[in-house]
Amino acid sequence: MKTLKEQVEEIKSMKGSKAAKKAAFVKLGLRKYEVELLMSELPKTVRETHKFTFGVEIECLVAASLMRESATRNEMPFQYEGYNHVDNNHYYKFVSDSSIRGENPIECVSPVLTGKRGMKSLETCCKALNEANAQVNISTGLHVHIGAATLSGEAYVNVFKNYQKLEKVIDTFMARSRRANNSQWCKTLQGISFECCRTRYDVLNVMRDNRYFKVNACSYARHKTIEFRQHQGSTDFEKISNWVNFCAKLVAWSKKNVLSSDINSIDEIPFLTKKEKSFFKSRAEVLA
């Protein structure tokens, strides 16, 4: 017959939720304050979190005078600069982009962003762009950078392997101009073999140091990021934030997982919630 102390220790060390352990303590006949004391001694559940830095590049058409007024009104920190690839943590920079066709072409580059505060900052940016009547067209794109400095070589390679197997499904919720190999600025990953890749340098080599793929391996050297280039131009915060979230969750999932075969439907994407799948299904229906 086990002593009370032994039974208590057994419950404390058993697998299961805190609620189950609390119920077991109560079943032993312990008093309320004794149960609360024992519960406070249990180690806190540590949930794996995936906090990545992120950044966006929004290609669009917007008059500088209107953008300056709107950014100032919305308290959006910004600078107009010459073409450059310098990262910063403080302001949105507007730089030239020769690939954009139309009047008043510009690329709005976010600072390095993180978490909810970063998303709120991005929402403010989108609001300011829309109030300044920023426009997008078939020549504009949206590029998302996800911080990759802490990824192992295997996890880094997995991102490219997984995107390749997801690409046909991703195409369904992208504009037709950004699908398959329709764009010279975001070429397909199909036909590239990542099987012998073990490091980010291996990935760079098999992609021949070319950044104009749907997933860009060249951005690591300059920014310590993986750049996702497939999304069409947009100033819609809901669309942009959902795509940022998709890319971040893909990177996080790739830390420990690699798909064994092509994914054929949005419902099969393993790292999305039901709500997230619903959003991308609605986009696919609109773009069908």
For 182-238, what is each residue's pLDDT tens digit?
788 999 999 999 999 999 999 999 999 999 999 999 999 999 999 999 999 999 999
**Is the pTM value of this prediction over 0.85?**
no
Q: Say how far residue 282 (Cα) sits from the centre of its chain.
A: 19
Would you state the pLDDT for residue 49? 42
Helix residue ranges, H only, 134-236: 153-172, 200-206, 219-223
Region 51-66: mean pLDDT is: 96
Please answer whether residues 164 and 260 qualify as being in contact, where contact means their C-beta atoms are separated by less than 8 angstroms.
no
Q: What confidence tens digit (pLDDT) does each residue in 5-51 have?
A: 888 888 888 777 778 888 888 888 888 878 788 888 776 543 444 57
pLDDT in tens, 241-266: 999 999 999 999 999 999 999 999 99
CA 143 vs CA 110, 154, 185, 231: distances in Å: 11, 24, 11, 7
